[in-house]
Amino acid sequence: MAHDPGSHEHHSHDHSHDHSHDHSHGHPDHGSELSPMELRVRALESILVEKGYVEPAAMDALIETYETRIGPRNGARVVARAWVDPAYRARLLADGTAAIRELGFGGRGGEHMVVVENTPEEHNLVVCTLCSCYPWPVLGLPPVWYKSPPYRSRAVIDPRAVLAEFGVALPATTRIRVWDSTAELRFMVLPMRPEGTESLDEAALADLVTRDAMIGTGLPGAGGRA
């Protein structure tokens, strides 16, 4: 399930493909090979490399790191551990950065982690209205929708409608708590463990945890937009 082709979480296995023609989701300039953007980027890159400010091998290492090593499976492992280990869960909620580091994750974009827990009474939703702040070490780079105006504008004023667009219908009695990432704190949602999962081990539980469940726009193992 970690690489369910219906999921929008799959990543590392197909990163060599050029996706520039595969997507039409209303964002201009995602680029065809001969686009003006492509030409401008190539020009700037060659200048910066030629002047010695940028090492091409370092660029390759950055791309490789964020395309193949860092993604929401990291966060899913954190969530699954918290589900099976109450002491870990307590540490995670008290000091997210340190508890996530216990599992070997951390660094750029996750220097100061705050983990917030969903309950039947309260559902958490994470947004960055001002840019694209997102917990890279546990979720990877953010999806386009997270960085785009529809989500950034509406998550804080009409989150229930936004959740409905993700197929998440919460009970009317469940309060919604939105975290706007306006400082260098990065937020990850600890979703509720789904019912009927008592027999699953930690690895199987991690497979239920979607990226969206850790942003708050999904629920774990809930099918639909899982």
Partner 1 sequence: MNGGQDLGGMQGFGPVAPEAGEPWFHAEWERRVFALALAMGFTGAWNLDASRAARESLHPGEYMLASYYEIWFKALEKQVLARGLVEGAELSAGAALVPPAPVARVLQADQVAPLFARGFPSDREPPGPARFAVGDEVSAKTINPTGHTRLPRYVRGRTGLVERVHGAFVFPDANADLAGEAPQWLYTVRFSGLELWGEESDPGLTVSVGAFESYLEPARRAAA
CA 214, CA 219: separation in Å to the nearest integer?
8
199 lies in the site for partner 1, by CB under 8 A: no
153 is catalytic: no
**H and E: helices and strands count for the chain:** 11, 4
Q: In this structure, what DSSP letter does residue 221 have?
A: T
Which of positions 65-104 make contact with partner 1 (CB under 8 A)? 65-67
Nearer to partner 1, 33 or 195 (CB): 33
Phi/psi of residue 74, nearest 5 degrees: -60, -50
Report, in Å, the least distance between residue 194 CB and partner 1. Answer: 21
Among 177, 192, 194, 197, binds partner 1 (CB under 8 A): 177
Segment contacting partner 1 (CB under 8 A): 74-82, 85-93, 126-134, 190-198? 126-134
CB 54 within 8 A of CB 61: no
CB 89 within 8 A of CB 190: yes
With the CA atoms of 178, 181, 187 and 193 taken in that order, what torsion angle do they form, in degrees rounded to the nearest 10? 20
Report, in Å, the least distance between residue 196 CB and partner 1. Answer: 26
128 is catalytic: yes
152 lies in the site for partner 1, by CB under 8 A: yes
Among 93, 156, 192, 222, binds partner 1 (CB under 8 A): 156
CB 138 within 8 A of CB 105: yes
Among candidate residues 20, 32, 35, 131, the one labeled active-site is 131
Pick left, alpha or beta for residue 180 (phi over 0 → left; psi -120 to 50 → alpha; otherwise beta). beta
119 lies in the site for partner 1, by CB under 8 A: no
Pick left, alpha or beta for residue 31 (phi over 0 → left; psi -120 to 50 → alpha; otherwise beta). left
Which of positions 5-64 make contact with partner 1 (CB under 8 A)? 5-8, 10-11, 14-15, 17-20, 23, 25-32, 35, 37-38, 40-48, 50-55, 57-63
132 lies in the site for partner 1, by CB under 8 A: yes
224 lies in the site for partner 1, by CB under 8 A: no
Nearer to partner 1, 104 or 196 (CB): 104
151 lies in the site for partner 1, by CB under 8 A: yes
Q: Coil, strand or helix: which one is 114? A: strand
120 lies in the site for partner 1, by CB under 8 A: no
133 is catalytic: yes
35 is catalytic: no
Residues with a catalytic annotation lie at: 128, 131-133
